[in-house]
């Protein structure tokens, strides 16, 4: 290790340990483990950063455990058809995406040939270069592609894959035929202006992107809260469905309904703040997350404030 590498390494380590100790202080281990360990199907691969759960024949959900390791950070998945394999998300690092591609080879029997990015946030997209050798068909919304390009800092692999990516239509769903199985990419909005979900009818499985968080309070950084609230309700299916959230363990309909109550509660808090004319910081300081909702991790201690702030901006512009 050179001196510079070593300094960088130690710097990173310090950042990580500071993060870990903050998380440990805020969320005692037994509580945190209760939801992070809940699985919906057999675990087919496991690392510090997450695990792959089988959620149907030829279907796997990647459930990241970012409180321990941020190699993948977001959730995602692998969908096998008779001819081709689709991967949802490119995760937070090329190492993470490369790991998923290798697991796809093992589990689905072939390398992924299609990659769908559910939105532009870095924890779902930064690892795109990890798929470069596979030269997959990448599917993105125009907003995702434009924001990633405008954000700069793309390496050659990322730039090339985005340049050749299929831009999804925003007016209707796109069907990707994998052979005997069709994955439908549905344009959505609310978490960002770039969202899509990846949906299967039989069995009924929905990769929700960051429109749905389970056991982790959602990030409203780029959200349009009323659209988020609406979109999440439209994801609910009558028949038994498995929902792969953007973050947190696999969800069923009861989890989705609880998540909607979480969204509604923060909306109610924001509307009260709007009526009283107090700002997001003041409203967040007095906001009490209902104990009846159970333990919801805050990725960042300011997420309640961000959510209320997003609502206040929307309410103020009405
Ligand atoms: Zn996101």
Q: Is the pLDDT of residue 9 over 50?
A: no
Give 176-219 pLDDT, tens digit per residue. Answer: 999 999 999 999 999 999 999 999 999 999 999 999 999 999 99
How many angstroms is it from 65 CA to the middle of ligand 1? 15
Looking at the structure, tell me whether residues 7 and 120 fall in a common domain. no
How many angstroms is it from 86 CA to the middle of ligand 1? 20
How many angstroms is it from 1 CA to the middle of ligand 1? 35
How many angstroms is it from 218 CA to the middle of ligand 1? 9
Looking at the structure, tell me whether residues 173 and 137 fall in a common domain. yes
Dist CA 217 CA 259 (whole Å): 9
Task: Give the residue from 174, 194, 177, 180 showing the smallest Cα distance to 122.
Answer: 194
Looking at the structure, tell me whether residues 257 and 296 fall in a common domain. yes
- Report helix angle 303-316 to 225-235, nearest 10: 110
Side-chain half-sphere exposure of 182, counting CA atoms within 13 A: 7
What mean pLDDT do residues 165-183 have? 97
Q: Tell me the pLDDT of the chain averaged across its residues.
A: 90
Which is more confident, 37 or 133? 133
Distance of CA 25 to the CA centre of its chain: 24
How many angstroms is it from 5 CA to the middle of ligand 1? 31
Count: domains in the chain: 2
Distances (CA, A) of 97 to 90, 113, 230: 5, 13, 31
How many angstroms is it from 157 CA to the middle of ligand 1? 22
Looking at the structure, tell me whether residues 19 and 141 fall in a common domain. no
Looking at the structure, tell me whether residues 115 and 132 fall in a common domain. yes
Looking at the structure, tell me whether residues 158 and 269 fall in a common domain. yes
Domain CATH code at residue 251: 3.60.15.10
How many angstroms is it from 128 CA to the middle of ligand 1? 15
- The edge-to-edge listing of strands for the beta sheet with 205-207 is 174-177, 182-187, 196-200, 205-207, 242-244
Q: Is the pLDDT of residue 18 over 60?
A: no
pLDDT for 34 equals: 56
How many angstroms is it from 60 CA to the middle of ligand 1? 20
Give 47-71 pLDDT, tens digit per residue. Answer: 999 999 999 999 999 999 998 899 9
Burial of 211 (0-12, 13-18, 19+ CB in 10 A): buried
Task: Give the residue from 155, 153, 118, 152 showing the smallest Cα distance to 138.
Answer: 118
How many angstroms is it from 310 CA to the middle of ligand 1? 15
How many angstroms is it from 117 CA to the middle of ligand 1? 11
Q: Is the pLDDT of residue 15 over 70?
A: no
pLDDT for 57 equals: 97
pLDDT for 38 equals: 83
Secondary structure (3-state) at 44: strand
pLDDT for 36 equals: 64
- Report helix angle 225-235 to 253-276, nearest 10: 160
Pairing of strands 196-200, 242-244: unpaired
pLDDT for 308 equals: 98
Residue numbers of the domain that contains 296: 38-316
pTM of the model: 0.89
Looking at the structure, tell me whether residues 279 and 295 fall in a common domain. yes
Looking at the structure, tell me whether residues 5 and 107 fall in a common domain. no
Looking at the structure, tell me whether residues 237 and 252 fall in a common domain. yes
Of 6-10, 97-101, 289-293, 302-306, the poorest mean pLDDT is in 6-10
Q: Is the pLDDT of residue 14 over 80?
A: no
How many angstroms is it from 2 CA to the middle of ligand 1? 36
Looking at the structure, tell me whether residues 10 and 64 fall in a common domain. no
């Amino acid at each position: 290790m050179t001196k510079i590498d070593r300094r960088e390494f130690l710097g990173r380590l310090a950042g990580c340990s500071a993060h870990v100790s903050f998380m440990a202080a805020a969320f005692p281990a037994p509580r945190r483990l209760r939801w992070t360990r809940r699985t919906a199907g057999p675990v087919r691969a496991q690392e510090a950063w997450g695990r792959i759960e089988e959620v149907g024949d030829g279907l796997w959900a990647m459930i990241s455990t970012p409180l321990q390791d941020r190699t993948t950070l977001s959730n995602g998945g692998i969908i096998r058809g008779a001819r081709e394999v689709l991967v949802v998300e490119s995760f937070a690092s090329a190492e993470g995406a490369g790991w998923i591609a290798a697991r796809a080879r093992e589990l689905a029997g072939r390398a992924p040939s299609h990659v769908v990015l559910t939105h532009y946030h870095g924890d779902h997209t930064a690892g795109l270069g990890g798929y470069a050798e596979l030269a997959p068909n990448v599917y993105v919304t125009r907003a995702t592609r434009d924001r990633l390009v405008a954000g700069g800092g793309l390496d050659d692999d990322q730039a090339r894959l985005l340049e050749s990516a299929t831009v999804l239509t925003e007016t209707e769903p796109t069907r990707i035929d994998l052979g005997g199985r069709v994955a439908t990419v549905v344009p959505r909005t609310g978490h960002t202006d770039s969202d899509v979900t990846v949906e299967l009818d039989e069995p009924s499985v929905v990769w929700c992107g960051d429109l749905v968080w389970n056991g982790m309070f959602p990030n409203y950084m780029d959200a349009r809260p009323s659209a988020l609230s609406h979109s999440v309700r439209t994801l609910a299916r009558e028949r038994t469905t498995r929902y792969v959230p953007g973050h947190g363990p696999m969800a069923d309909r009861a989890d989705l309904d609880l998540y909607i109550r979480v969204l509604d509660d923060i909306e109610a808090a924001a509307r009260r703040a709007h009526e009283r004319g107090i700002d997001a910081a003041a409203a967040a300081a007095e906001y009490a997350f209902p104990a009846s909702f159970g333990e919801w991790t805050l990725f960042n201690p300011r997420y309640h404030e961000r959510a209320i702030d997003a609502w206040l901006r929307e309410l103020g512009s009405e």
